[in-house]
Structure formats: C-alpha cells, structure tokens
C-alpha cells in the first residue's frame, strides 16, 4: 500500500516533480562551475535543495483540492503521510547522490571530491534531507502552501531580527552558539569514534523524523476531507 501511495503521488505530480528536480539540477551545475566550495558544503546544499521537491505533492493536493479523493481511497491516512515522507527522503537522498555523481563525472566540475570521506558525506547529506523535511512537512500538511511560505519567511525574518538585535546589543552569542555546536560535534566524534558518532547521528535523525511523522499523521488524520 505504501508503494501504491508513492506511485500515485509520483504519477499525479510527475511533471511538477521533474520540473523542480530540473531547476535544482541547474543550481547544482552552477555550484559545480562556480568558485570551488568544500565538498561537504556542496553535498549539504544539494540535499537541502532536493529535499524541498516533495513539498510539491502537498502543495498541489491543496491547490487542486484532491484531499477528499486521496482520503477516500482504500488506504489509511497514516500510510499516505508515511508515503510522502519516504518519497521526500528518496528524492532528497537521490538528488544528493546525483549531485555527487555529476561532480565526479562532469569535466568542467570545479569540486574536488577525491579526499571526501564517504561516511561523513552520507551523514551530512542525510541530515540536510531529514531536518528540513521533518520541519516543513507538518507545516505544509497543516497549512498547505501558505503554511510553508509562512514558515520559510518567518524563519528568515526571525534570523534577520536575531542578527539585528545581536548586532545592536553588541552580543556575539550567535557565533558562540554555532562554535559551541561545532565543538560539540568534534568532541562527540572523538569520544564515540567515527562509527559510533555516525550511529548516534542517524539515531537522532530517525527519532526526529519519527516525531515529525507522528505529528504529521495526527494533523492529517484530524483534518476533515
């Protein structure tokens, strides 16, 4: 049934999904031909871009008012939501993988992936897919396109405000927060070892995605079609 839900979402949104992926690939190509950036940043950005593609499915469901149709199909709403999370993960990680492949194969690529540790690349890519997806999907399910835009614009406005306030007050806390987070990652990695750290990060991401998924299922089940 999960496969049927993913298939339905793919067939009904194929053109929009392919258009999104196409646009994101153009961004990836621009990144590959511009000034050289660190490989991990490239992977993170690519995965982040592709993880946004599945929002199309929910936004279009809202636009065409097809929720009543989807909810009248012989599938549990839980399965429908789960299918969308999996589709998102698939497109996000697939897009990240495709970006790495392009970076390696294209002759004009300025990205140096030769010394890239595979495990770290996977962790960065997965994080950059799971985190935005887990934040955005509940919003999009609850509020549709408007919800997603409000969330993105709200996050940007909040970021600008925090920067402004910290500059006005001469408070450099943000930098220390990010530096602290970086130190924590380095410390954890050295304490747990490369594999242990990877397992811990993946476990955290799984927990995060599970909580987000449960919230989304709750919202989707409660909404009347």
Partner 1 sequence: MSELAIDIEGLCKSRKGFELRDVSLKLPRGYVMGLIGPNGSGKTTIIKLLMNLARRDAGNVRILGLDNVENEVEVRSRIGFLYDEPCFHDDCNLEDQRRALCRFYPGWCDSTFDRLADEFGLPRKRKFKKLSRGMKTKFGLVLALSHDADLLVLDEPTSGLDPVFRRELLDCLAQVLQDEGKSVLFSTHVVTDLERIADYVTLIDRGEVAFSLSREELNESWGVIKGDEAVIEAVSSVDRKGLRRGAYGVEILTSNIESARRRLGSSAVVERASLEDIMVLMTGDERHAA
Residues that bind partner 1 (CB under 8 A): 1, 4, 7-8, 11-15, 60, 64-66, 68-69, 71-76, 222, 224-225
Tell me the closest approach of the beta carbon of residue 1 to partner 1, in angstroms: 8
Q: Which is nearer to partner 1, 4 or 37 (CB)?
A: 4
Tell me the closest approach of the beta carbon of residue 65 to partner 1, in angstroms: 5
Distance CA 111, CA 45 (A): 13
Q: Which is nearer to partner 1, 7 or 171 (CB)?
A: 7
Distance CA 224, CA 16 (A): 26
Kindly list the distances between the CA atom of residue 78 and the CA atoms of 71, 73, 83, 155, in Å, as whole numbers in the listed order: 10, 12, 9, 28
Report yes or no: 119 and 198 within 8 Å, Cβ to Cβ. yes
Tell me the closest approach of the beta carbon of residue 159 to partner 1, in angstroms: 35
Q: Which is nearer to partner 1, 14 or 214 (CB)?
A: 14
Nearest-Å Rg of the Cα atoms of the chain is: 19
Tell me the closest approach of the beta carbon of residue 147 to partner 1, in angstroms: 20
Q: Which is nearer to partner 1, 76 or 120 (CB)?
A: 76
Collapsing DSSP to helix, strand or coil, 72 comes out as coil
Residue 175 CA to its chain's centroid (Å): 24
């Amino acid at each position: 049934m999960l496969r049927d839900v993913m298939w339905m979402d793919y067939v009904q949104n194929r053109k929009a999904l392919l258009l999104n992926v196409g646009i994101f690939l153009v961004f990836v190509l621009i990144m590959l031909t511009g000034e050289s950036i660190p490989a991990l940043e490239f992977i993170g950005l690519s995965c982040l871009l592709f993880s946004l593609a599945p929002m199309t499915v929910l936004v279009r469901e809202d636009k065409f008012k097809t929720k009543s149709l989807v909810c009248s199909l012989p599938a549990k709403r839980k399965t429908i939501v789960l299918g969308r999370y999996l589709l998102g993960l698939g497109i996000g990680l697939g897009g990240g993988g495709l970006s790495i492949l392009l970076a390696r194969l294209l002759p004009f690529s300025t990205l140096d992936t030769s010394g890239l540790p595979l495990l770290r690349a996977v962790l960065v890519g997965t994080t950059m897919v799971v985190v935005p997806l887990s934040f955005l999907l509940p919003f999009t399910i609850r509020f549709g396109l408007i919800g997603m835009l409000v969330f993105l614009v709200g996050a940007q406005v909040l970021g600008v405000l925090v920067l402004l306030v910290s500059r006005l007050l001469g408070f450099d806390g943000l930098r220390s927060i990010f530096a602290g987070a970086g130190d924590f990652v380095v410390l954890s990695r050295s304490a747990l070892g490369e594999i242990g750290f990877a397992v811990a990060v993946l476990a955290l991401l799984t927990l995060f995605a599970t909580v987000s998924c449960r919230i989304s299922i709750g919202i989707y089940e409660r909404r009347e079609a």
